[in-house]
Structure formats: C-alpha cells, structure tokens
Chain A
Amino acid sequence: QLQLQESGPGLVKPSETLSLTCTVSGGSINTESYYWGWIRQPPGKGLEWLGNLYYSGSTYYNPSLKNRVTISMDTSKNQFSLKLNSVTAADTAVYYCARVLFAAHCGSSSCSHHYYGMDVWGLGTTVTVSS
C-alpha cells in the first residue's frame, strides 16, 4: 500500500526558505506511471496546487508562486522535495504531498500528459512562517 509522509521544519522565518521532504513507501517514485505533487492549505482556506514532478525530472509549477518554488526528487531515497524561498506569513499553511494520476494523449509523433487528479495524499505537515 502506497504511503506518503511529509517532513520538515514546522517554523520558518520570513524571507528564508521553506524546505519539505515527502518520503514515499510501498512503491517507487522512479516510475513513468505517475507524477508527484505538492499542495498546500492555509488555515481555514481552500487548497492550492504548488507543482508537480515527473520521474524524468520535468517540473510544472503554479505561476502564481513567481519562481519561488522548486520541486526535485532523490530516487535513491525514494523522496521528493519542495523548496519555497522568500517566504512570508502568507505561506503559512498545511503542506501536502500527493501522487498524481494522468492520461497520455498521443498523436503521430508525440504524447501530451493530462492530469486526472491526486489519488494518494500524505497526512500533511503544518508550516508556520513567523519571526
């Protein structure tokens, strides 16, 4: 059974970098079958997608984060990570990692990927930005 577990500091100072890791057990992240993503939820608010990562190293980020976000993977540890720099109080949230399902639509010469949704989620980790 696939499980995801977020870890990292619960408190980050303003202007510093938030760093979280998602450890995956029960399956390999080094697979062409899924993407891996990060989603956050500010206190009392809705869900916000941060970005996705494919085993090839391709990444896709929420443009609203204005180049502050980086997602990477360490296949030797079966982990993927989130870095968010120049944080402010607005980045205070519960951060979730998730596995992402997708469909491949293939033409004569190439395929495009279309997300179905996030089917396995971690429990989430709370990050507070405060001095």
Chain B
Amino acid sequence: QSILTQPPSVSAAPGQKVTISCSGTSSNIANNYVSWYQQLPGTAPKLLIFDNIKRPSGIPDRISASKSGASATLDITGLHTGDEADYYCGTWDNSLNTWVFGGGTKLTVL
C-alpha cells in the first residue's frame, strides 16, 4: 500500500478534461515538492510536473497541476488517445526519510 494515495484508474472521452488526485500527509506532500510522471506502456517514466506546478520544457500547457495542503492534483485537458498511460505522483517523506511514489493511476481515453 502506497504512502501517497491515487485513484487506480480514471477515464474520460477524447477532448475532455481529467483530474488525477494524489493524497498524502503533513510528512510528505504538505511540506515538500510534488512531481508528476507519465509512463506510457513499456517505456520509462517521463517528468510532467516538478516543484508542485512547473512544467519542464516541452510539456504542453494542457497539462497542469496544483497543490493544497496535503493533496495534489494533475489536470490534463484536450485528451487524446496518446495520453493513455499510467500517471504517478512523487515527493519526499520527512518521517520515512525516503522518496515516495503514489501507486499510480491508469488513464483511459474512451
């Protein structure tokens, strides 16, 4: 069971918006930087968001994120089938003294 809680799956139609949540505690999300990763089938994870809300160069602005207290969310708008992937949140945990990932959320674009 992961320290950070993500929904196992989300789905939405092409062109629509989806939100993926990541719930933690004061030991992790509330007091550390959150990052988000996309993992397409059979490939390495790719950084989508770092420092809670920042996009690396090359990540489109239809991908955004926010953080409030001990929770973080990832929003993807204008969905297309190429967005079908597993999405992970990650942050440092001060109590465990370790980097932790969420369990991952599988996005299906119907």
Using a CB–CB cutoff of 8 Å, the interface residues on chain A facing chain B are 37, 39, 46-49, 52, 60, 62-64, 96, 101, 103, 114-124
- With contacts A46-B2, A49-B98, A63-B98 known, is A118 near B104, CB below 8 A? no
Q: Decide if A121 touches B50 in the complex (CB within 8 Å).
A: no
Q: Decide if B51 touches A46 in the complex (CB within 8 Å).
A: no
Per-residue interface assignment for chain B, residues 42 to 76, with 1 indicating a CB less than 8 Å from any chain A CB and 0 otherwise: 01111101110000100000000000000000000
Q: Decide if B35 touches A46 in the complex (CB within 8 Å).
A: no
Q: Interface residue count for B (Cβ, 8 Å)? A: 26
Q: Which of B32, B47, B92, B104 touches A46 (beta carbons < 8 Å)?
A: B104
Q: Decide if A96 touches B92 in the complex (CB within 8 Å).
A: no
Q: Chain A's nearest CB lies how many Å from the CB of B45?
A: 6
Q: Chain B's nearest CB lies how many Å from the CB of A36?
A: 13
Q: Decide if A117 touches B101 in the complex (CB within 8 Å).
A: no
Q: Decide if B99 touches A96 in the complex (CB within 8 Å).
A: no
Q: Decide if A63 touches B97 in the complex (CB within 8 Å).
A: yes
- With contacts A46-B101, A46-B104, A47-B101 known, is A116 near B50, CB below 8 A? yes
Instruction: Give the 9 A-B residue pairs with the shortest CB-CB distance, closest first.
Output: A117-B35, A49-B99, A117-B50, A121-B44, A47-B101, A116-B50, A119-B47, A46-B104, A62-B98
Q: Which of B50, B88, B98 touches A101 (beta carbons < 8 Å)?
A: B50
